[in-house]
Amino acid sequence: MTDANDPETVLIPGGRDVRASLDRADGSDHERADGSDHERADGSDRDPGGDETTACVVACPPHPQHGGTRHDGRLQAVSTTLRDRGIDCLRFDYGAWDGGAGELADVRSALAWASDRYDRVGLFGYSFGGCLALVAAAKFGDAAAGSALTAVSALAPARRVAPDVDAAAAVDRIAVPLQVVYGTRDDTAEWGPVVEAARERAGERGTDAVSVVELEADHFFVGRTDRIGGTVGSWLADRVAIDDDR
């Protein structure tokens, strides 16, 4: 018998080959459907009659051409904190390299998968994935009322991964609570414009809606993986798990 905390392999529907690992929280009320890959006969594993609000965070890895995968240590650290707080985490790999546009489509497909199965969904991305998470949140959050997206966090986000995939420009259009975490010694990603945009947004909406966290660290947060897991995972858990307004 498979342990409930062992990751499940999930195939994300769409036009690209996107594979993911679903980390289940202790006591997750999502039942595994026999003979399927985390899916009920009706195409969803969500129990519409359940009393408990279900929650999941979609985690976007760093640049796939630089070794970024769903097994990235920072993604796993965030997942560990989330699972300890009763929240599932979907870590996925991008499909074939497409210069940013296809990878952004992969994020949206993963968000759609999670939104079909959970009441509340958070979004997290690191570096290249942080840029994609912010851009996806700006558009996904504009969906009709009832969207499952509840919060987004970006760690060391790249400003831009393609001419029309610009995280700094996306910040002002994000309607859900936003967190941006960066390292002061990071000379790898162009995080400055994203942080500046987030701080301007915080001035407009308040620090409850936009949180900017500065850490003494480089781009890879060497020696600070647990700190990242706690900082990002706890912030997301506080917002994804609360169900006051829904």
**Domain carrying residue 108:** 8-29+52-240
The model's pTM is: 0.88
Task: Look at residue 43 and tell me if it is in a domain.
Answer: no
Task: Look at residue 83 and tell me if it is in a domain.
Answer: yes
Task: Look at residue 39 and tell me if it is in a domain.
Answer: no
Number of domains present in the structure of the chain: 1
Task: Look at residue 37 and tell me if it is in a domain.
Answer: no
Q: For 147-203, how does the pLDDT look when each residue is reduced to its tens digit (9 = 90+)?
A: 799 999 999 999 999 999 999 999 999 999 999 999 999 999 999 999 999 999 999
CATH number at 110 reads 3.40.50.1820
Give one DSSP letter per residue of 134-158, joined into a string. Answer: HHHHHHHTTSSTT--EEEEEEES--
Task: Look at residue 38 and tell me if it is in a domain.
Answer: no
2-to-5, 6, 8, 82, 112 alpha-carbon distances in Å: 8, 7, 9, 20, 26
Q: For 101-113, how does the pLDDT look when each residue is reduced to its tens digit (9 = 90+)?
A: 999 999 999 999 9
Task: Look at residue 114 and tell me if it is in a domain.
Answer: yes
